[in-house]
Structure 1
Amino acid sequence: MRLSRIVYRAHNPRWSFGPGSGEGAAGTGGRFNRTGLRALYTALRFETAWLEAQQGFAFKAQPMTLCAYDVDCDDVLDLTDPATRSAHGVGGADLAGPCKDLSTRGEVPPSWVLADRLIAQGCAGIIVPSFASGATTTDVNVVFWNWGERPHQVRVIDDFGRLARPAT
């Protein structure tokens, strides 16, 4: 499907010069990307972006830079839709398993296997439920593996040049 809308991401202000790089996710790995694989984790609502970024700090919010992204991206699968999950052979454990726990033990999380398979099939990104503590059904994320210009445009909105620039 084609996703055309605004999405959001909250991230550590120290990385505000590269909000679209995906390098942070590549460095540590995430629910839907192995270590070394760039991914851009975003949310459909800015509240969800904040919730995702504050995991582990639920009662002590830390500074974050909230960015909006203009998305016009083909090849996105909506895995919040039961019919789409069924058509692509995606089960609940493929999405919600304990990925950090498994990867720390040296095991490959099912969500990484799923991501590998979907990327190999040409999928640019997925729409998935948020698994952050306190998330509800309104908390939905979009994870991109292939982004840049059309047909997979994901562009940070910074019309006034407010984001920090890397030191030269």
Structure 2
Amino acid sequence: MSLRELGETYRGMVYRGHNPLWDDDPESGAGAARKGGRWNWVGLPALYTSERFETAWLEAQQGLAMKTQPLTLCTYEVDCGPILDLCDPDIRNRVHPDPEAWRHEAWLSKSRLGMPVIGWEIAQKLMDEGIVGIRTPSQARGATARDVNVVFWRWSRTPPTMVRVIDDEGCLKRRKAKHPP
């Protein structure tokens, strides 16, 4: 069975914490493309989300020296696939022979040194096979087994790759109109 065949459609809600300076386009993935991340290199848009709002908060506060910073928490409706579940040990082992190597990889240090990043290699492999995102354990400080992220490399506002922010009252659009870039 191919990795694509192991992928499933993910349906439900996910969460993401945004710095209020950049919350006017919560579906863009532009911030990840600008800086890169564990699962995307600079230039590749990605949408990093979490299954629990508590995890989204943990993820958004990483790297901040013990001070909680302002945060806009958004909920997304998802009907997107195929998503590969890297929380499943059998799938993790099929994706990479040493899953602990990428789970605890110092990807940021390696990227700054121009070294290969295992997460990026895995992402490229999965995208080449038609996988549009992954479900993966959070690596944020303080994360537990309940803290799971869903990272999307391909998404739109409609199925089969729907990841859509819920903003029924248009709050984010009004904020954008008040504070243009």
Give the TM bin, normalised by the shorter chain.
over 0.9
RMSD: 1.4
Which piece of structure 1 moves more, 93-102 or 44-53? 93-102
- Match for residue 155 of structure 1? 164
- The DSSP-based 3-state class of the residue aligned with 1:14 is helix
Contact 2:103/2:139 (CA < 8 Å) preserved in 1? no
Structure 1 CA distance for aligned equivalents of residues 52 and 165 of structure 2: 15
**Match 1:120 to one of 97, 115, 128:** 128
Structure 2 CA distance for aligned equivalents of residues 16 and 3 of structure 1: 24
Aligned pair count?
168
Contact 1:95/1:110 (CA < 8 Å) preserved in 2? no
Structure 1 CA distance for aligned equivalents of residues 118 and 135 of structure 2: 17
5 Å-filtered alignment, 1:68-87, equals: 68-87=75-94
Q: 5+ unaligned residues in a row in structure 1: which ranges?
A: none
5 Å-filtered alignment, 1:1-168, equals: 1-57=8-64, 59-89=66-96, 91-148=99-156, 149-163=158-172, 164-165=175-176, 167=180
Return the letter of the residue paired with 1:71.
Answer: V
1:145-164 Cα deviation digits (max 9, x unpaired): 00002111000000001112
Return the letter of the residue paired with 2:171.
Answer: R
Structure 2 CA distance for aligned equivalents of residues 34 and 95 of structure 1: 16
* TM-score, structure 1 as length reference: 0.95
Structure 2 CA distance for aligned equivalents of residues 144 and 58 of structure 1: 28
Structure 1 CA distance for aligned equivalents of residues 96 and 16 of structure 2: 28
**Higher relative helix content:** 2
Structure 1 CA distance for aligned equivalents of residues 20 and 78 of structure 2: 22
* TM-score, structure 2 as length reference: 0.89
After TM superposition, give the deviation of residue 111 of structure 1 in Å: 0.7
Contact 2:13/2:51 (CA < 8 Å) preserved in 1? yes
Contact 1:94/1:114 (CA < 8 Å) preserved in 2? no
Q: 5+ unaligned residues in a row in structure 2: which ranges?
A: 1-7
- The DSSP-based 3-state class of the residue aligned with 1:75 is strand
After TM superposition, give the deviation of residue 58 of structure 1 in Å: 5.5
- The DSSP-based 3-state class of the residue aligned with 1:74 is strand
* Aligned sequence identity (%): 50
